[in-house]
Amino acid sequence: MIRNITLGQYLPGKSVMHRADPRTKIIITMLFMIVLFIIDSIWALLGALVFVAAAYWISKIPIKYAIKGIRPILFIILFTVVINMFMTDGKTLVDLGFARITDQGLLRAAIVSLRVFMLITSASVMTYTTTPIMLTDGIEKLLKPLKKVKFPVHEMAMMMTIALRFIPTLIDETDKIMKAQAARGADIGTGNLLERAKSFIPILIPLFVSSFRRADDLAIAMEARCYRGSKGRTSMRVLKYGKVDVAILVAFCIICAGILLVHYML
């Protein structure tokens, strides 16, 4: 019932993007987001769009799949488009009486929607091509300097790993409970707002209970294996920064410089 969420899911593959070090991908994604907020001209944004499309092409992610992932945020994009279209001053193109569409408005709408669109799609490339475990490994390594100021980097990464690990499990569990309650005649998400909220109780309570039970089981299992936090722990997967990663990073920097150049020139 709720399994059709493709946003943020890992898609197994063997492309360069799949093989790249998670740290590279995290850094690139973060830098790209900053770039997206700096650039403000439509041409620079279109350039960035080409870059995102290229990233999808290199990672061999089916376009259909990617589009499905955007669906949940389509409303937000449409909303910003409409707001920007009508709320910006400029030369009037269409006058509806109560509101008007201006040329500046259209431009702003295009810029803002492109930006939101790319924020999601670029971050998705990372999650599509990186397993959650690799992602948290990368984050742990990147945040390592913070250990000097007593920040519990390892513990935080472990929490993230566990949280990510249990998302599919919880989705399955929710699905099962929803079905079990539906089989008893529960209508989920129908009626007025209050009824709708109430209809989630038979799902949420068992879900909470099972989450606590799972957390408890996991804690025991971890203790039984002598888990004591980061002290003296080595990693099974050792991240290695290779030539490919340097190449990707350099290529990315050049592309970003190009996009920024377009932005400052126009």
Q: Which residues bind other proteins (CB under 8 A)?
A: 3-4, 6, 11-12, 62, 64-65, 68, 173, 176-177, 179-187, 201-202, 205-206, 209-210
Q: Smallest distance from the beta carbon of 167 to other proteins, in angstroms?
A: 15
Shorter beta-carbon distance to other proteins: residue 88 or 211? 211
Minimum CB separation from other proteins for residue 74, in Å? 18
Between 179 and 237, name the residue whose CB sits nearer to other proteins. 179
Q: Which is nearer to other proteins, 50 or 201 (CB)?
A: 201
Quote the least distance from Cβ 64 to other proteins, whole Å: 6
DSSP string spanning the chain? ------TT------SHHHHS-HHHHHHHHHHHHHHHHH--SHHHHHHHHHHHHHHHHHHT--HHHHHHHHGGGHHHHHHHHHHHHHHS-S-EEEE-SS-EEEHHHHHHHHHHHHHHHHHHHHHHHHHHHS-HHHHHHHHHHHTGGGGGGT--HHHHHHHHHHHHHHHHHHHHHHHHHHHHHHHTTPPTT-SSHHHHHHTTHHHHHHHHHHHHHHHHHHHHHHHHTT-BTBTT---SS-----HHHHHHHHHHHHHHHHHHHHHHH-
Is 104 or 211 the residue whose CB approaches other proteins more closely? 211
CB 104 to other proteins: min, Å: 40
Least distance (Å) between residue 1 CB and other proteins: 8
| Residue closer to other proteins, measured from CB, 3 or 196 | 3
